Every structure is written in C-alpha cells, then in structure tokens.
Amino acid sequence: MTRFDPKELRNALASYMTGVTVVTARAMDGTPVGFTANSFTSVSLNPPLLLVCPGNHLSSFDIFATATHFAVNILAEGQEAVSNIFAGSKEDRFSQIHWSPDQFDCPLIDGAAAQFSCSLQNRVEAGDHHILIGQIQHYQASTKRGLGYCRDGYFSLSRERQSEAAAQGEQKFICGALVEYHDELCLLREPQGLFIPMVKLNDRSGARTSLLHHFDKLGLKAGIGPVYSVYDDAENGEHVTIFRATLLEKPALETVEFRPISQLSTNEFSRPVNADMIRRYREEHDHNQFGLYIGDAVRGEVHPSGGGGGDSGESGESDDSGESGESGESDDSANQ
Ligand SMILES: Cc1cc2nc3c(=O)[nH]c(=O)nc-3n(C[C@H](O)[C@H](O)[C@H](O)COP(=O)(O)O)c2cc1C
C-alpha cells in the first residue's frame, strides 16, 4: 500500500470546501452523543439517502457503529461555536447548546439550517472510518445559509459578500416583480431554488423598461403594475425595488413554474428577503389589499396603498427604482 504523509494528505483533501454538520445519536443508556462532521453527502432523492463518515478516533464511535438511527444537523452561518463544541469540547456538549429530540430521540440542534432524522440503511467499513448511509425519515429546512468550511477555517457567504460590496463601495440596483396570473404566481426555477424574476440595473433609473426587456428575454408577456417593496439589502449591497406585474398569457416554459398564491411556501425561496416578502404578499393577496414596504432587509414600514387589488399604480407610477429609502422605525421586521 502506498504510504503518504498523513498531514499532507489531510491538507490536500481539505482544499475541498464543504459545509459543516453535527451528527447526533443516542447511546443505549440514553446519553446524547454528537460530533462535528464535514463528510456529509447527499446520496439519493428516491429513496431519500444521505451519508456521513464517523472515524474510529471518535469517543462515540462504538455508538455510531451500532446506531439504528442518527440525525444530521447542517449548521447555519453564525454557528461556528456549535461546530467547535462538537469538534473539541470535553464538557457535556449538549448542555452548551439548545436542542430537542427527534422522533427517534436523536438530538436536533436549534438554529441549524436543516435537520435530517435518519434510520440506518447501510453501514460500510472503510479504512479508519465507517460510512453510515441513512434513509431520511423526516427533515426540516429553513432559508438560512449553511456555514462553510475549508482548509483555512470557517467561512460564510454572507460575510464574504458583505465585505466584497463594502470593498467595492458600490451599491447595486436591482428590480424584480411578483408576476401574477389569476391566483397564481409565476416563478423561475434555477438550480439554487425558486426566484421571482429580477434584473440588475445600471443605475437608479429605467426600472420598468429594464424589467420589460427582462420579461421579453424570459419569454413572459406581462404588464407592470405598482411598486410593492423598496428595500436596501445591506448583506448583498443591493437597493431592490419590487413591482407587482400581471401576466397577459400563460407561457409553456420549462424554466417557469406557477404556484397558487394562497399556498406559496416561503421555504422554497432561496433568499430570506424573498421569503419574507412572499409571506406578506400571500396574506395581502388573501385580503385583496396590498401595501408598499419601504425599509431594509430587517426593518421597515408597510404603507397602505389605499386601493384594492387592482393595479391602481397609486404609488408606483414613477420609473425610478430609487425611492426615498426612508427607513420606518416600526417593528415590522423583515416583512418586505
Ligand atoms: C469541520 C470539521 C469536520 C469534521 N469532520 C469529521 C468527520 O466527517 N468524521 C469524523 O469522524 N470526524 C470529523 N471531525 C473531527 C471530529 O469532529 C472531532 O474529532 C470530534 O472532537 C470528535 O469527537 P470526540 O471528542 O467525542 O471524539 C471534523 C472536525 C471538524 C472541525
């Protein structure tokens, strides 16, 4: 067998960037156990399978090597401390975090980006690790971004983007639309998830014209109605204006999906900012009464728009994506 320098080999393998998970289970005597793992991989959708690799160096190895169930918690940005606890702490790890048991009694960690409860489907001995293949029996997902890990340590996409925007000292102007067709919303399916149509502007002006060009490119025939939301997204260095729009005919495009507005699930959206706006939109659509949000990604105010569901254009007739940007001091958090 070829011998490699273990440290060098580990370094080479660590150039592969990953997320971070905490894998948990229960010992026979009921003690919760867990370790930090980046060997997580999604394996199959049908049946739903994933894998993780506990090493025989783990103090809990025997428990994982015989477990019939385990849980995988994908840590969210900001959970570096949780990762460190499960990678090193010698104290009782579970007394240092908030968690609750799943239906198999495996610990689910609060604030994780996603949690998967699994039954063991297969276990393969592979050198100094085991490969645990789990069948997902239940899962919960959020819109939080996962924490990243590479040779240099943890990283977070939000922080990277924030500092990139700050370094460039520039704000991007974005406009988008909630495109309705009767009681359905028209959404774009992209590899990262569902998005509403959005386009980058060169400057503050020409939002409606740019949006119409963008609709053309996407193959959508739509009319643009009033402004629905105007907010600064500091995390991405963006000033965003969202309009309501109405589709004139339903296109048969693979890239486009229609969802009943009353059943829109906020979990499906890739950016938390969109999910909050969608939640408000779903509620307002129910009452056929739409407001105008002005604020930022966390705090702002919904201004009543007066008219009912019609495209009255009361506050949105300007072709200017650079609304005043006043940030209301109300407690309407994150409801853009
Ligand atoms: C980011 C990260 C990823 C890790 N991935 C794994 C892994 O996939 N499998 C593994 O056995 N150990 C992995 N470890 C190491 C264990 O988390 C670490 O050895 C832990 O302290 C073991 O728990 P113990 O103290 O109960 O033995 C990882 C550590 C870090 C920081």
Query: Tell me, what amino acid is at 128?
Result: D
Place of tokens 């500091």: 234
Distance (angstroms) between ligand 1 centre and the Cα of 166 equals 34
Q: Token pair of 18, please?
A: 């990953």
Q: Where are the domains of the chain?
A: 17-155, 170-323
53 lines ligand 1 (CB under 6 A): yes
Q: What is the pLDDT of residue 186?
A: 92
Task: With CA atoms as reference, report the closest residue to 37 among 89, 103, 87, 76.
Answer: 87
Distance (angstroms) between ligand 1 centre and the Cα of 157 equals 23
Q: What is the pLDDT of residue 101?
A: 98
Pick the CATH number of 170-323 from 3.40.50.720, 3.30.70.20, 3.90.79.10, 3.30.70.120: 3.90.79.10
Cis ω before 47 (30° cut-off from 0): yes
17-155 and 170-323, same CATH topology: no
188 lines ligand 1 (CB under 6 A): no
Which residues have CB under 8 Å from 187's CB, separation 6+? 194, 195, 196, 256, 257, 258, 259
First-to-last C-alpha distance (Å) of the chain: 59
- Signed CA dihedral, 26, 29, 30, 34: sign only: negative
- Signed CA dihedral, 149, 70, 123, 30: sign only: positive
198 lines ligand 1 (CB under 6 A): no
Question: Which stretches within the chain are classed as H helix?
Answer: 6-13, 61-66, 80-88, 157-168, 207-218, 272-287
User: Ligand 1 pocket test: which of 33, 40, 58 has the largest number of ligand atoms within 8 Å of its C-beta?
Assistant: 58
CATH architecture of the domain with residue range 17-155: Roll (2.30)
User: How much is the pTM?
Assistant: 0.60
17 lines ligand 1 (CB under 6 A): no
Distance (angstroms) between ligand 1 centre and the Cα of 90 equals 13
Measuring from atom 31 of ligand 1, which residue has the nearest CA?
87
Q: What is the pLDDT along the chain (336 residues), one digit of tens a residue?
A: 678 999 999 989 999 999 999 999 999 999 999 999 999 999 999 999 999 999 999 999 999 999 999 999 999 999 999 999 999 988 999 999 999 999 999 999 999 999 999 999 999 999 999 999 999 999 999 989 999 999 878 998 887 777 666 666 667 899 999 999 999 999 988 877 788 899 998 777 789 999 999 999 999 999 999 999 998 887 777 889 999 999 999 888 888 999 999 988 777 666 655 677 888 999 999 988 999 999 887 778 888 864 443 333 223 333 333 333 333 333 333 445
- Signed CA dihedral, 133, 136, 139, 141: sign only: positive
Q: Token pair of 263, please?
A: 């059943």
54 lines ligand 1 (CB under 6 A): yes
32 lines ligand 1 (CB under 6 A): no
Task: With CA atoms as reference, report the closest residue to 219 among 244, 254, 191, 184.
Answer: 254
Q: What is the pLDDT of residue 271?
A: 61
d(CA 205, CA 318): 10
Q: What is the pLDDT of residue 233?
A: 82
Phi-psi region of 254 (alpha: psi -120 to 50; beta: other; left: phi over 0): alpha
24 lines ligand 1 (CB under 6 A): no
Q: What is the pLDDT of residue 300?
A: 84
Measuring from atom 19 of ligand 1, which residue has the nearest CA?
87
Number of CB atoms found within 10 A of residue 287's CB = 9
Contacts 24+ apart (CB under 8 A), 79-85: 79/20, 79/109, 79/111, 79/112, 79/147, 80/147, 80/154, 82/22, 82/109, 82/111, 83/20, 83/22, 83/36, 83/147, 83/149, 83/154, 84/36
Bridge-based pairing of strands 222-233 and 198-201 is: unpaired
